[in-house]
Structure 1
Amino acid sequence: MTAGSEEIVVSHLTKHYKTLRAVDDLSFTVHSGRVTGFLGPNGAGKTTTLRMLLGLVAPTAGSATFGGVRYADLEQPIRHVGAVLEASSAHKGRTGLNHLRMICTAAGLPWEAADEALARVGLTPAAKRKFKGYSLGMKQRLGIAAALLGDPRVLILDEPANGLDPEGIRWMRDLLKTLAAEGRTVLVSSHLLGEMQQLADDVVIIAAGRLIRQGPVDEVLGSMAGTAHVRVRTPQVAELTAALSEHRATVTPLPDGALLVTGLDPAAVGHAAFANSVELHELTGERADLEQVFLQLTAGKAGIR
């Protein structure tokens, strides 16, 4: 399977429901060849945004395009955009293979596409099992298989790791990274922030329908330098605390006897200790993770208005 370049561009996208602003002048770009995490608290407007992307909800204002074309204007959308907004549903008495073949028939795709998609998501051994016997994780895989039937250049997935065990989550991560490496545009909405830090190249963070932060994961984490900490251990606690206080650093004793320093990087802490003849037994930088940054950025901004 090969894929062309087809970025998602969201421009001033807005959705009002009477007095409720679910999405409010939202703009961002999802680049090809990268996995973009779409993050936000419950009620932030993520699902509404995804539904507007796919033409399921009409925007009040603004636009969302794939390679410059609205979803509704795409010829054979299944060949351009594959989406999973919830766990796959199918007739409980139908096999996974027949479920996909029905979609192929409706979309004018050859049946071979069903076999290829099942193989790609690791469901070939369960191809002839009935849907009613599928676990939630298998249903998630079947939904992704359906999204891949048309060999789309764009994938939009909402909580794709739901129901997957740790091995399944790793499989999902590897699959999405592989799809992005093929040049596809991959947009993933998820609440699993630890997993998103490992998976995503870029993040788009929204709250109350508005954009809070976007960019490469490393840049977003780096921009929150104030949330970074330094863990330090010394037999001269009072002396080091006094030295760091002169630099307006915050020093917090930890239960294990170490100190947590906020406001200085490891080099500055080490220099202050050296300048004051303080012996150090440990000096470790602890960078803020995506969960810490997310919670700081969205504090007080959760929910729709």
Structure 2
Amino acid sequence: MSDGKIVVTGLTKVYKTVRAVDDLSFTVEAGRVTGFLGPNGAGKTTTLRMLLNLVRPSGGTGTIGGQRYADLVDPIRHVGAILEASGAHRGRSGRNHLRMLCIAGGLPVSRADEVLDMVGLTPAAKRKFKGYSLGMRQRLGIAAALLGDPKVLILDEPANGLDPEGIRWMRDLLKGLADEGRTVLVSSHLLSEMEILADDLVIIAAGKLVRQGTVAGIIDSMGAEQIRVRTPDADGLVAALGEGVGVTRADDGALRITGASRETIGDTALRAGVAIHELVVDRPDLENVFLQLTAGKADIR
């Protein structure tokens, strides 16, 4: 595998009369965390399964480092993936579960303890899997994905079951792995977390690509930044700002201004002798942008 870039080209999956994935194309670059977002039924998990050759595509291709996953030699050393909370024998300890995977993958069993330490499960290494919480199972799944020290990580809803501390830990881990030059593709419904974690986004709905780009670029593309202003002399401020500035009044009496920067508004108010009680940038967040982009496209079958 020459690099860790993921390239999806025209990927399609049809189940009888349902097009779960419809001519989907996108790229995921190395050295970055890419969020893979979409409503329920959008085709995210099906796409990931096709990438990992767990589902046969009806059309198109998905490659990792220029090769299909099925054609990779020793894939455990190239790609680590979790598509659900880790499954293991209920009576087997977390350490022994990972050791079995090491043996199956031709890795030294000592690697099990290394990844347990990476995911913070060393204190629970000897505990049986049946006693693991959902969050601990997610950590064990990430540990399994890291066993081969892969260049590429593909993770489907890895934050399910994690508490706030666990989510922050996962964020730091994935950002650190991307900083090492690895490719990190993460599917998640936690939009506020993805806004913090991801560098890039791929948003799909009804099996089709809706938008791809950087987090900031996608958010900014959905509308001009607004400045929220509260003042006892709203009419005086509007008059001082003059033409070319858009002003709307919020229900609480605040002004929402477009077409002028925060600095320009502040300087204008000072010259006009208008008191300012609040002056903040009101920037759209990823949740609102996502809902606009995918409105009416969730699968409710």
TM-score past 0.5 threshold: yes
Superposition pairs of residues 51-90 of structure 1, within 5 angstroms: 51-90=49-88
State the alpha-carbon separation in 2 of the partners of residues 265 and 134 from structure 1: 54
State the alpha-carbon separation in 2 of the partners of residues 76 and 186 from structure 1: 19
CA-CA distance at 1:253 after TM superposition: 2.6
CA-CA distance at 1:278 after TM superposition: 6.7
Contact 1:45 1:304 in 2 (8 A): no
Deviations 1:228-252 (A, max 9, x none): 3221011122444577795473513
Q: 1:63 to 1:235 in 2, by over 3 A?
A: same
Q: 1:109 to 1:193 in 2, by over 3 A?
A: same
* Aligned CA-pair RMSD: 2.4
CA-CA distance at 1:272 after TM superposition: 10
Residue 299 of structure 1 is matched in structure 2 by 295
State the alpha-carbon separation in 2 of the partners of residues 303 and 148 from structure 1: 33
Tell me which of 27, 35, 45 is aligned to 2:25: 27
State the alpha-carbon separation in 1 of the partners of residues 11 and 129 from structure 2: 37
Tell me which of 232, 235, 241 is aligned to 2:232: 235
Contact 1:10 1:63 in 2 (8 A): yes
State the alpha-carbon separation in 2 of the partners of residues 184 and 27 from structure 1: 21
State the alpha-carbon separation in 2 of the partners of residues 260 and 275 from structure 1: 18
CA-CA distance at 1:116 after TM superposition: 1.1
Deviations 1:73-113 (A, max 9, x none): 11111111110110011111100000011111111211011
Contact 1:241 1:251 in 2 (8 A): no
Query: Normalization by structure 2: what TM-score?
Result: 0.92
Contact 2:50 2:57 in 1 (8 A): yes
State the alpha-carbon separation in 2 of the partners of residues 223 and 33 from structure 1: 24
Residue 219 of structure 2 is matched in structure 1 by 221
Between 166-175 and 209-218, the greater mean CA deviation after superposition: 209-218
Secondary structure of residue in 1 paired with 2:63: strand
Query: Percent identical across equivalent pairs?
Result: 67
Residue 259 of structure 2 is matched in structure 1 by 264
Deviations 1:19-48 (A, max 9, x none): 111111111111001100001111111111
Contact 1:121 1:141 in 2 (8 A): yes
Number of equivalenced pairs: 300
Q: Which amino acid aligns with 1:119?
A: D
Residue 187 of structure 1 is matched in structure 2 by 185
Residue 274 of structure 2 is matched in structure 1 by 279
Between 266-275 and 18-27, the greater mean CA deviation after superposition: 266-275
Contact 2:262 2:280 in 1 (8 A): no
Contact 1:8 1:30 in 2 (8 A): yes
State the alpha-carbon separation in 1 of the partners of residues 273 and 154 from structure 2: 54
State the alpha-carbon separation in 2 of the partners of residues 164 and 97 from structure 1: 20
Secondary structure of residue in 1 paired with 2:274: coil
CA-CA distance at 1:222 after TM superposition: 2.1
Contact 1:82 1:148 in 2 (8 A): yes
Query: Normalization by structure 1: what TM-score?
Result: 0.91
Between 270-279 and 171-180, the greater mean CA deviation after superposition: 270-279
Structure 1: state its 5+ residue gaps. Answer: none
Secondary structure of residue in 2 paired with 1:78: helix
Q: Which amino acid aligns with 2:250?
A: P
